[in-house]
Amino acid sequence: MNILSRIVLASALPLILACSTAEPADPFLVQTDAGPVRGFTPEGSDDIAAFLGIPFAQAPEGDMRWRPPIAVETWTDPLEASEYGPICPQGRAQLPQSEDCLYLNVWTSADRSGTDAMPVMVWIHGGGFRAGNGRLGEAPATGRGTGLARRGVVVVSIQYRLGALGFFAHPALAAEAAASGEPEGSHGVTDMIAALDWVQRNAAAFGGDPDRVTIFGVSAGGMAVNTLMSTPAADGLFHRAIAQSGYGTWRLPHLSESRWGLPSARDMGAALIAEAGFELGDEPSAADLRALSFEELNTLGTGFWVPITGAMLPEEPGIVFARGEQHDVPYITGGNSFEGTIFRAFAMTPGDYFATFGEREEHARTLYGADAKADTDAERVAAATSFGDQRYVISARYLAEQMKTVSSPARTYYFRFVPEAQRQAFPGAPHGSEVSYVFGDPGEPGSETYRGDDGAALADAMAGYWTRFAATGDPNGDGAPEWPKYDGDSDTWMVLDAPEPKAVPGVIKEKLDLLEAVYLERVGGR
């Protein structure tokens, strides 16, 4: 049974007019292919219908742990969709968590009568593939989803398995996967595909156009976008893609081979289990691993998790794009001017980081202003800035350039806005700080989110770019500054900053040239 058959079993479900274009009499009662759901009006948003906590797959627990998701059982009475579902297991979470976490949320117009089908934007959350959730504001307000939906799109946010439940390989699970023919190691990715398949089957019931689906996400969510762009199993499930600070040129473990100085994912998984001290013996079985609680599995590893190559993901995205094997859809990608806020999570000293450049260390230090080899504030900022550029910004430029291997265009952005009140704390726009602006709810002038009129105007401009892209595949229009297509010769980025965005060639070009050379040396000049 192939992956999509396992995920959706669509032919076995009664469709019950899920894709009908007929508008129901009650806009808050929607018939999905599994059963009816009843939404609600978010606080202060009478023009929006929100539907929270819709299951898109059965709970992947018990015998279903580390297996692809399967379709939910059908129901007949309306599901009250007014509360978020539990978040996926993760350490130190303050919200209810459960392995029964494969839920999604929908925001759409409350008045869908007589309107054309709307583009659909599917948000994939970040969190290092070990944390995060699909909540876009707290119920019953749910502000972020409401703000974009008001601009004429259907917003969907999804959840996917995290950490050892979503991105874990082990020799005991390998034997089981080989016998069943199921994919191994990246079950969080299979969850994303299941959610996108649900969108294809059900978007029309919420007023959405299943032929205009945009995936977008930040950090791990941006990497998820790059992964889905590179995953054959996602073919046809989306039509535009936006990777916000999504790494695609970072080392990823291979399922069964040692590469790039990393052990295989199976060996890494076996080592994590052995180091945890569980009383499982030297060669635990798949049943032994499934007997562990998710709280125990949450303790495995101290860093971020990542997708595994060699299964759902054939190669890391940079290699897939260079081969021209990515999905041929319009693509936006970019990064922020100080992604280095993520550096502290990697427990490296500035000296250790710059030493990774080898013969290029002095060049890297000079470019980033860390000439003195001393533990100074300047050296720490320089190392963090370079690390952020190497993880996120060079990925944006390299993957955008490799879109020349297909027919669809790419566009790049560089988010540089820092509210005045934060300029003493950050030398540039921190990692993830663009998200509030993308969702376009400007709040009150001087609010914690936008800090004044400049931020509010930038939020309006960015939400406009994102939603026009979702509608047409082109972010331009409505009198906004022109955002050109990317090509390597002009190397033009849309710099997202106040007083308004503008197209700028050669953003941090010399730094990115160095980081690209380091990347190409690692992958053999592909």
CB-based contact 150:237 (threshold 8 Å): no
Q: Catalytic annotation on 187?
A: no
The predicted pLDDT at position 449 comes to 61
> Do the domain assignments include residue 319?
no
Instruction: Answer yes or no: do 517 and 412 share one domain.
Output: yes
In a domain, 313, yes or no: no
Tokens of 437: 């602006």
**Per-residue confidence (pLDDT) for residue 444, from 0 to 100:** 56
304 in any annotated domain: no
Do residues 376 and 463 both lie within one domain? yes
Pairwise CA distance, residues 279 & 69, whole Å: 29
Measured between alpha carbons, how far is 201 from 213 in angstroms, rounded to an integer? 12
Could you say which of 157, 219, 337, 386 is catalytic?
219
- What is the distance between the alpha carbons of residues 245 and 312, in angstroms, rounded to a whole number? 21
Task: Output the CA–CA distances (angstroms, integers) from residue 482 to 11, 13, 474, 503, in the order listed.
Answer: 45, 46, 10, 7
In which order are the strands placed within the sheet that holds 29-31?
29-31, 36-38, 79-80
HSE (CB half, 13 Å, CA atoms) of 54?
31
Query: Which residues on adjacent β-strands are paired with residue 109?
Result: 48
343 and 214 fall within a common domain:
no
Task: Tell me which of 99, 182, 315, 339 is the catalytic residue.
Answer: 339
Bond prior to 55 in cis (omega within 30° of 0): no
Would residue 324 count as lying in a domain?
A: no
In this prediction, residue 311 carries a pLDDT of: 84
Which residue in the list 184, 327, 431, 433 is annotated as catalytic?
431
- Give me Rg for the CA atoms of the chain: 23
Collapse the DSSP code of 493 into the 3-class scheme (helix H, G, I; strand E, B; otherwise coil) and give the result. strand
Question: Do 275 and 392 sit in the same domain of this protein?
Answer: no
Dihedral sign computed on CA atoms, order 485, 221, 439, 449: negative
Q: Is residue 237 part of a domain?
A: yes
* 73 assigned to active site: no
* 364 and 232 assigned to the same domain: no
Residue 467 parent element (H or E): helix 453-472
Do 223 and 363 share a domain, yes or no?
no
273 and 223 together in one domain: yes
DSSP state of 26: S
Domain check: are 447 and 513 in the same one?
yes
- Report if residue 303 sits inside a domain: no
Condensed to tens digits (0 to 9), the pLDDT of residues 341-360 reads 999 888 889 999 999 999 99
> What is the structure's pLDDT at 448?
61
Work out the end-to-end distance of the chain between its first and last CA atoms, rounded to an integer number of angstroms: 34
Question: DSSP of 191-250, one letter per residue?
Answer: HHHHHHHHHHHHGGGGTEEEEEEEEEEETHHHHHHHHHHH-GGGTTS-SEEEEES--SSS
- Clarify whether residues 457 and 391 are in a common domain: yes
- 8 A C-beta contact, residue 18 and residue 201: yes
Q: Do 366 and 264 share a structural domain?
A: no
490 is catalytic: no
pLDDT, position 420: 83
| Cβ pair 468, 483 in contact under 8 A | no
| pTM for this entry | 0.94
Taking the C-alpha atoms of residue 236 and residue 59, their distance in angstroms, rounded to an integer, is 25
Q: Are residues 246 and 353 in the same domain?
A: no
Q: Is 84 a member of any domain? A: yes
Please report the pLDDT score of residue 20 as a whole number: 42
- Contact between 165 and 303 (Cβ < 8 Å): no
How many domains does the chain fold into? 2
The CATH number of residue 237's host domain is 3.40.50.1820
Alpha-carbon dihedral sign for residues 320, 323, 327, 330: positive
Is 322 domain-assigned? no
Non-local (6+) Cβ contacts of 399 within 8 A are 226, 243, 248, 249, 317, 318, 321, 331, 333, 410
Cα distances (angstroms) measured from residue 338 to each of 131, 192, 413, 476, 501:
21, 29, 14, 26, 18
Query: Virtual CA dihedral for 202, 208, 213, 216, nearest 10 degrees?
Result: -100
The parent domain of residue 186 ranges over: 3-251+256-297
Taking a C-beta distance cutoff of 8 angstroms, is the pair 107, 149 a contact? Answer: yes
User: Quick one: 375 and 282 in the same domain?
Assistant: no
- Amino acid identity, residue 490? S
Helix axis angle, 509-522 to 394-402, nearest 10°: 70
**In this predicted structure, what is the pLDDT of residue 5?**
44
Q: Please list the ranges in the chain whose pLDDT falls under 50.
A: 1-24
User: Residue 292: what pLDDT?
Assistant: 96
